């Protein structure tokens, strides 16, 4: 890590969340969680699950437990996460990359901007979703399994910046949920919010987002607003 302060000028890196940010998979995650919880006799409204998506699975289960006023043992938490993973796998055929996601990543690579993916999901599920993006071999993908704590802790983004060899202050974090934005701030990165995960613009703004765009296509069309340009033109 250099502390070179690329955000002040230069060429920042981009750290992407996965679900709702690059891939249109939030609603499948939500319904898979609802199904997993119902299977264990826990009835929870869909919107409450949506509002927690993007958190670490452990925190997520604990937060939901609090909302339903139930004790959740570590064994049950593990079982719920297992059921959720299976539910997402069953819905994989419904899941598509978000508009502009592949083009954005290809463009960043083409102009020499370093980027990585950092997700609260576990490696098994995350890998299958990353595959939908057709990213090149060697893409940096940090999953839940590789860090002590997931979002809203900053670990995932810190690890991703480290793997890119950059100071997190020289990286933008791109995400769709308030948990991404909160984790970004703890990592000292600036947060770019995307509406494509279903959160409202005002919620993301209230979480300290630097800029908000519709989806990856909209971000790609406005990269100049972030001072991101081809190296030769910098």
Q: Is 131 a binder of a second copy (CB under 8 A)?
A: no
The tokens for 23 are: 């891939």
Distances (CA, A) of 191 to 34, 146, 155: 29, 22, 15
Q: Is 46 a binder of a second copy (CB under 8 A)?
A: yes
Contact with a second copy (CB under 8 A): which of 112, 134, 165, 200? Answer: 200
Size of the site for a second copy (CB under 8 A): 26
24 as an active site residue: the answer is: no
In whole angstroms, give the CA distance from residue 198 to residue 112.
Answer: 30
224 as an active site residue: the answer is: no
Q: Is 213 a binder of a second copy (CB under 8 A)?
A: no
Q: Is 99 a binder of a second copy (CB under 8 A)?
A: yes
DSSP string, 37-85: HHHTT----HHHHHTTTTS-HHHHHHHHHHHHT----HHHHHHHHHHHH
Q: Is 137 a binder of a second copy (CB under 8 A)?
A: no
Distance of CA 161 to the CA centre of its chain: 14
The tokens for 93 are: 């055929």
Q: Is 50 a binder of a second copy (CB under 8 A)?
A: yes
- Least distance from a second copy to the Cβ atom of residue 137, Å: 27
- Least distance from a second copy to the Cβ atom of residue 140, Å: 25
Longest distance between any two alpha carbons in the chain, whole Å: 58
Contact with a second copy (CB under 8 A): which of 60, 199, 210, 213? Answer: 199
The beta strand positions in the chain, using DSSP E, are 13-16, 23-24, 96-97, 115-118, 141-142, 171-175, 190-194, 211-213
41: left (phi over 0), alpha (psi -120 to 50) or beta: left
Q: Is 130 a binder of a second copy (CB under 8 A)?
A: no
- Least distance from a second copy to the Cβ atom of residue 27, Å: 5
Q: Is 69 a binder of a second copy (CB under 8 A)?
A: no
Closer CB to a second copy, 58 or 198, in the complex: 198
Residues 8-37 that bind a second copy (CB under 8 A): 20, 24, 26-27, 30-31
Closer CB to a second copy, 206 or 221, in the complex: 206
Q: Return phi, psi of residue 172, to 5°.
A: -90, 140
Residues near 69 by beta carbon (within 8 Å), at least 6 away in sequence: none
Report, as residue numbers or ranges, the catalytic residues. Answer: 17, 19
Residues lying near a second copy in the complex (CB under 8 A) are found at: 20, 24, 26-27, 30-31, 43, 45-47, 50, 94, 96, 98-99, 195-203, 206, 215
């Amino acid at each position: 890590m250099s502390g070179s302060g690329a955000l002040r000028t230069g060429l920042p890196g981009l750290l992407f969340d996965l679900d709702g940010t690059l891939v249109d998979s939030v609603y499948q995650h939500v319904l898979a969680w609802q199904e997993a919880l119902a299977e264990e006799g826990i009835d929870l409204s869909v919107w409450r699950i949506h509002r927690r998506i993007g958190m670490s699975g452990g925190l997520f289960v604990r937060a939901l437990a609090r909302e339903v006023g139930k004790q959740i043992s570590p064994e049950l938490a593990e079982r719920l996460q297992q059921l959720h993973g299976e539910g997402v796998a069953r819905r994989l055929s419904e899941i598509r990359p978000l508009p502009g996601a592949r083009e954005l990543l290809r463009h960043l690579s083409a102009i020499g901007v370093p980027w990585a993916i950092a997700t609260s999901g576990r490696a098994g599920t995350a890998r299958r979703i990353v595959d939908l993006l057709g990213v090149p071999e060697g893409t940096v993908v940090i999953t839940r399994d590789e860090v002590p704590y997931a979002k809203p802790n900053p670990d995932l983004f810190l690890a991703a910046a480290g793997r890119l060899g950059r100071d997190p202050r020289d990286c933008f974090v791109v995400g769709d949920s308030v948990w991404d934005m909160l984790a970004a701030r703890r990592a000292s990165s600036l947060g770019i919010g995307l509406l494509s995960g279903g959160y409202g613009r005002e919620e993301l703004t209230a979480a300290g987002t630097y800029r908000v765009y519709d989806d990856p296509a909209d971000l790609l069309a406005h990269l100049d607003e972030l001072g991101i340009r081809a190296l030769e033109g910098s």
